[in-house]
Structure 1
Amino acid sequence: MSEARLELATLIAKQVQEEGDFPAAVPGLHLYRRHEPVVGACQVYEPAFAIVAQGAKVVDVGGESFPFGEASCLLTPVHVPALSRITRASLTRPYLACAVLLDLQMARELMTELDVVKGDERGHAVTVGPMSPELMDAVLRLVRLNEKPGDIPVLASLLQREILYRLLTSTMGGMLRQIVTTGSQSHRVARAVEWLRVHYREPFRTDELAEHARMGVSTLHHHFREMTGSSPLQFQKQLRLFEARRLMLMNGMDAATAAFETGYESATQFSREYRRQFGAPPRRDVVELMTVGELALVS
């Protein structure tokens, strides 16, 4: 595993020589490189799993912290708003990582072919665990494929299917198995999460969201909080605030415009909730982030 991790780090360093997040030629593969620690990055994680080949990172979701480092895996089978910080990176030993977006439809089809125990439906949307040699080998082959563009159309989907198989049959794959199992409580909560992600600007009633998820209101609240660490309303607020922060940082919007664009009717309410989330009012927070260059915010 140590040799495989070193090879993965070497491949990423070779393919990505500048800082940033780079979509690879292989569909769904992202490569990351950072030369110094990053604090305060916020993003909405897509269904994906990520591997740190060199360095270390901490992801905060729903008030809980998930540290992961070299040769460990972070699995997020649903969209979740997250704050993250890279804790170990330098110019001589940069943070190097990769992420593979999960094709949940492919996982759902694959699940029907597997004879695995689904296990307990309860659990968090974020899981950190060790990399198995088999999963690491599949990831290595996917990253190597990035250097052979002629092979990508034929081999990429096969390797992504193998990676999904390794995840679904792993000890950390319980939540993923449940989410792609139609009719499970986790699958229903995932429907509510997806609705909120798409319609985060719109006001909603909890009973309507519960009906969309095909759950009772109290059942939805219980399982939603268990999976994401927050209530549906808190989840929506995070989606709005993260997008507003991105608009101010990346598009240069002022606070009032960003508030309006993300569904807020009151600039005062927006400022109050923004300060509660990020520890400073919008304008000061954005100025501080731009001053220190922490523009690692991803949508």
Structure 2
Amino acid sequence: MAEVNLETLTERALDLWQINGRDTPLPGVFLAVSKEPTGPLHGVYQPSLCVVLQGAKVSRVGHRTYRYDAGKCLIASLDVPVRAEIVAASREHPYIAMIVSIDPAVVTELLIDHPPTSSEAETTPEALAVSTLSSDLIDPLERLLGLAKRPRDIPVVAPMIQREIIWQLLNGSHAGSLRQVGLTDSRLARIGKSIAWVRENFTEVLSVPYLAALAGMSQATFHRQFKAATAMTPMQFQKSLRLQEARRMLLSEGVDVAQVGFTIGYESPSQFSREYRRMFGASPGRDGVQLRRALTEETHS
């Protein structure tokens, strides 16, 4: 595949970031810029396309590692907790990326109007996938960013361009993952139902039989398919969500560490502290102090 020209897209992304920062005036479109490599960044990826225009990033889900640099893109087809870090960035050549949300409803509409010409094998694709950016995506991505200078056109034109982008993805190398998202009875879509429940109820006691029934699978099949998609067991998935929420809560000044543990579903403070340290490399109290200090320094820099 010929190397794509990212110059115009990169210039538009950087110009827009300098004006708006991460949140653009375009619904579902975000920018990421960093002038230095970062330590681990914890978060939850939702269905989206992330295009790296400059620099490089590594994302980890369970035991799987995905590296994507300039000219590569990451497609997320499920909501999954991720540990990521920017590994190539400098003041002269900052990391620059563009993220476009993927609406599963649009995927479904396109599949209804234009069903696949051949049936795909009934497998469970991974929640994340990396590929080389297709040249067919460059033009709609450029046009999408260009709308920022024509705000009156955004509500009418942006949804059409985003639909075009999803259409191109549905005809690309990772079409299988997106098709699974759009097909309501596919294995990935059914796993997605159980993931949605866990995300909304992560403080509750986890019941694998209930989640398996929600996905319409036997417990053994559900456990196997869940791990195939997310590289985690349901319990590991829930634990990651709980600990990420705990870290968010610890940004608040004067928060009681033990109470945070109870709030996110831990009955044992020692277990909460132990698992938090294992995930983030420091105790909840120490990490909270470091997070608040870093946020203060960033605000005043």
TM-score (norm 1): 0.92
Instruction: Return the alpha-carbon distance in structure 2 between the equivalents of residues 33 and 40 of structure 1.
Output: 16
Match of 1:135 in 2: 137
| Conserved 8 A contact 1:51-1:74 | yes
Question: Letter of the aligned partner of 1:264 in structure 2?
Answer: Y
Q: Using a 3 Å threshold, how does the CA distance of structure 1 residues 21 and 252 change in structure 2: closer, same or farther?
A: farther
Deviations, residues 205-249 of structure 1 (Å, cap 9, x unaligned): 111111111111111100000000001111000000111112213
Matched, 1:149 2:151: yes
* Cα distance change on mapping 1:293 and 1:118 into 2, 3 Å: farther
8 Å contact 1:38–1:294 — kept in the other structure?
no
For 2:32 and 2:263, locate their aligned partners in 1 and report how far apart those are by CA, in whole Å.
29
Q: Distance in 2 between matches of 1:249 and 1:118?
A: 48
Q: CA RMSD in A?
A: 2.2
Deviation per residue, 1:193-213 (Å, 9 max, x gap): 111111111112111111111
The answer for the alignment partner of 1:261 in structure 2 is 263
Query: What residue in structure 2 maps to residue 64 of structure 1?
Result: 64
**Structure 1 residue aligned with 2:283:** 281
Alignment of 1:25-174 (within 5 A): 25-116=25-116, 117-120=118-121, 121-174=123-176
Deviations 1:142-193 (A, max 9, x none): 1111221111011011011101111111111211111211211111111111
CA distance in 2, matches of 1:221, 1:295: 44
Number of equivalences: 295
Question: Does the 8 Å contact 2:4/2:71 carry over to 1?
Answer: no
| Cα shift at 1:258 | 2.3
Highest RCO, 1 vs 2 (Cα 8 Å, sep ≥ 6): 1
Would the alpha carbon gap of residues 118 and 254 (structure 1) be closer, same or farther in structure 2, given more than 3 Å must change? Answer: farther
- Residues 4 and 135, structure 2, Cα contact 8 Å, conserved in 1: no
Give how far 1:278 is off: 2.2
Deviation at 1:21, TM superposition (A): 5.8
> Which stretch has the larger CA shift, 148-157 or 108-117?
108-117
Cα distance in 1 for partners of 2:67, 2:297 equals 21
Q: CA deviation at 1:294?
A: 11
Gapped runs of 5+ residues in structure 2? Answer: none
Q: Is the 8 A contact 1:37 1:85 kept in 2?
A: yes
Inter-partner Cα distance in structure 1 for 2:204 and 2:292: 30
| Matched AA of 1:63 | H
Percent identity, aligned pairs only?
36
Q: Within 1, Cα distance between the matches of 2:36 and 2:175?
A: 32
